[in-house]
């Protein structure tokens, strides 16, 4: 099974960097623990874009990771289903929309999850806020457990903290 963990966000917008930071740190954590990570790949982006539909079509399981403005929990992982959009802007392309293009254009539907990490500060400034940093740490611990069990256990449920 091929897995993609794909974080996106703008590192110059404080907590909007949560998706990218998540991927960097998760990759480091897993590489420290395992000798080879042959079935997991990592990628980052400034924002989702149309060609990401082609990218995810090559994986069996995909985890999108993004900062969340309105998430009530510290973090959350939810299963995604394809969703067409009526109003389309390259700056508000949702993962479910990318999934929809993937299904329509390439005829495949990878198992896809959205990892949402709650953020608080969005000014033109670098560095995560302390609260977002704490949420990121919690999300990384939980996701590491989650992804490890994913390799061993075929059935898993969306997790809500």
Partner 1 sequence: MTKKITIEPVTRVEGHGKVTVHLDEKGNVTQSRLHIVEFRGFERFIQGRPFWEAPVLVQRLCGICPVSHHLAASKAMDAIVGVTPETISPTAEKMRRLMHYGQIFQSHALHFFHLASPDLLFGIDAEPARRNVIALAMENKELASQGILMRQFGQEVIEATAGKKIHGTGAIPGGINKALDPQDKDRFLNGADPLNAAKMVDWAEDALNFFLDYHKKNKEFIDNFAAFPSNHLSIVRKDGALDLYHGVLRAVDTAGNKILHDIDYNTYLDFIGEEVKSWSYMKFPFLKNKGKKEGWYRVGPLARLNTADFIPSPRAQKAFEAYKAYTNGKPNNMSMHMHWARLIETLHAAEMIETLLQDPEILEGELIREGKRQSEGIGLLEAPRGTLFHHYQVDDNDLISMANLIVSTTNNNEPMNQAVHLVAKEYLEGQKEITEAMLNAVEVAIRAYDPCLSCATHAMGKMPLKVTLLDASDKMLDEKLKN
Q: Which residues bind partner 1 (CB under 8 A)?
A: 9-13, 15-16, 44-47, 49-51, 53-54, 66-71, 84-92, 94, 97, 100-101, 104-105, 116, 119, 122, 124-125
Torsion of CA 17, 76, 61, 57, to 10 degrees: -60
Q: Where are the alpha helices (DSSP H) in 93-129?
A: 95-106
In the complex with partner 1, the residue whose CB is nearer, 111 or 121, is 121
In the complex with partner 1, the residue whose CB is nearer, 90 or 153, is 90
In the complex with partner 1, the residue whose CB is nearer, 18 or 40, is 18
Phi, psi of 143 (to 5 degrees): -70, -35
> Minimal distance in Å, beta carbon 74 to partner 1?
15
Report the alpha-carbon distance of residue 29 to residue 1 in Å, rounded.
20
Strands (E), 9-151: 40-45, 61-68, 75-79, 111-118
> Minimal distance in Å, beta carbon 48 to partner 1?
8
> Minimal distance in Å, beta carbon 135 to partner 1?
13
């Amino acid at each position: 099974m091929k897995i993609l963990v794909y974080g996106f966000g703008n590192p110059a917008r404080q907590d909007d960097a949560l998706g990218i930071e998540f991927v960097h740190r998760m990759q480091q954590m897993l590489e420290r623990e395992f000798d080879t990570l042959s079935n997991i790949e990592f990628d980052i982006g400034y924002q989702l874009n149309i060609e990401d539909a082609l990218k995810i079509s090559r994986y069996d399981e995909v985890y999108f990771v993004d900062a969340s403005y309105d998430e009530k929990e510290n973090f959350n992982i939810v299963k995604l289903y394809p969703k067409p959009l009526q109003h389309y802007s390259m700056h508000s392309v949702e993962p479910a929309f990318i999934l929809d293009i993937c299904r329509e254009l390439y005829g495949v539907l990878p198992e896809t999850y959205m990892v949402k990490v709650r953020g608080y500060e969005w000014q033109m400034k670098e560095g995560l806020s302390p609260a977002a940093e704490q949420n990121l740490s919690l999300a990384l611990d939980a996701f590491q457990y989650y992804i490890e069990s994913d390799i061993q256990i075929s059935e898993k449920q969306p997790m809500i903290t």
